[in-house]
């Protein structure tokens, strides 16, 4: 499988200033849990200039100027938990939605932000730290790597869905409530739904009211998110997604 999108450290040209160590966690925690189960860690990216609203608007303009319109998803932010991705009302004025995220009732995802050299440098350092902390040669095993940034208005909801990648989430600003469900429980996720998902039906997951959130997270898991922020307290986060 192609690994063309993996970062080569020597090829990144950026004057970005980052902390010597971004991820704050005991190595033993990552060695025991990485790509196996959920765990918490701390980081020092909160307040970093890369995640200020004007810089995120610039990033969105960079992606759009490259004709990569498929790398930005934007929707209205207040939808039912069971809402399917392909039924969410879209937003056309993406940069305006980000610039006025406090009151625009928007949910925006910027994909593959490493097309910008500064975000590529950030992603590269994160992967290097993960390799050091886990003791695993991740770059040798990865077939795909991407960094996404989510920007959401207060009280936004991300509907129930399946993720197939390993997710490494940095909460940058605001508060997020996340519910994870046990992917091994077939009363929650059926064999038929799994099969349909992996042949391309990304909207196959059906939220079941009686299902209780669990805490196992591995290759495929189901989740829904509520950005439970106070008024004028927006939510933003960086996801690093890895396939191996």
pLDDT of residue 234: 45
Task: Give residue 216's pLDDT.
Answer: 35
Q: Where are the beta strands (DSSP E) in 111-207?
A: 144-152, 156-163, 166-173, 177-181
**HSE of 74 in the Cβ direction (CA atoms, 13 Å)?**
19
* CA atoms within a 13 Å half-sphere pointing along the CA-CB vector of 148: 19
Give the pLDDT confidence score for residue 162 in this predicted structure: 83
pLDDT at 89: 65
User: pLDDT tens digit string along 156-171?
Assistant: 887 788 887 778 888 8
Q: What is the pTM of this model?
A: 0.80
177's enclosing H/E stretch is: strand 177-181
What's the pLDDT at 53? 93
Query: What are the tokens at 194?
Result: 């799994």
Residue 239 DSSP class: E
Mean per-residue pLDDT pooled into runs of 10, the chain (244 residues): 49 73 93 85 91 95 93 81 68 88 89 93 93 92 87 84 82 81 83 90 81 47 42 52 62
Q: How far apart are CA 216 and CA 15, in angstroms?
A: 39
Compute, in degrees rounded to 10, the torsion defined by CA atoms 65, 66, 67, 72: -80
Distances in whole angstroms, Cα of residue 147 to Cα of each of 35, 71, 102, 237: 17, 11, 23, 10
């Amino acid at each position: 499988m192609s690994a063309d999108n993996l970062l080569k450290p020597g090829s990144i040209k950026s004057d970005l200033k980052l902390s010597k160590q971004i991820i704050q966690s005991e190595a033993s925690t990552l060695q025991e849990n990485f790509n196996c189960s959920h765990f918490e860690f701390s980081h020092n990216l909160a307040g970093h200039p890369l995640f200020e609203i004007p810089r995120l608007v610039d990033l969105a303009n960079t992606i759009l100027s490259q004709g990569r319109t498929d790398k930005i998803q934007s929707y209205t932010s207040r939808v039912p938990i069971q809402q399917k991705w392909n039924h969410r009302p879209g937003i056309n004025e993406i940069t305006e939605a980000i610039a006025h995220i406090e009151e625009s009732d928007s949910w925006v995802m910027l994909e593959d932000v490493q097309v910008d050299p500064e975000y590529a440098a950030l992603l590269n350092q994160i992967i290097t730290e993960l390799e050091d902390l886990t003791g695993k040669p991740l770059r040798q095993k990865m077939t795909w790597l991407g960094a996404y940034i989510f920007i959401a208005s207060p009280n936004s909801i991300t509907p129930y869905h399946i993720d197939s990648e390993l997710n490494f989430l940095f909460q940058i600003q605001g508060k997020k409530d996340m519910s994870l469900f046990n992917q091994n429980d077939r009363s929650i996720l059926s064999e038929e739904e799994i099969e349909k998902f992996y042949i391309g039906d990304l909207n196959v997951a059906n939220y079941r009211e009686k299902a209780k959130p669990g805490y196992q997270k591995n290759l495929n898991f189901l989740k829904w998110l509520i950005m439970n922020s106070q008024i004028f307290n927006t939510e933003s986060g960086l996801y690093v997604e890895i396939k191996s």
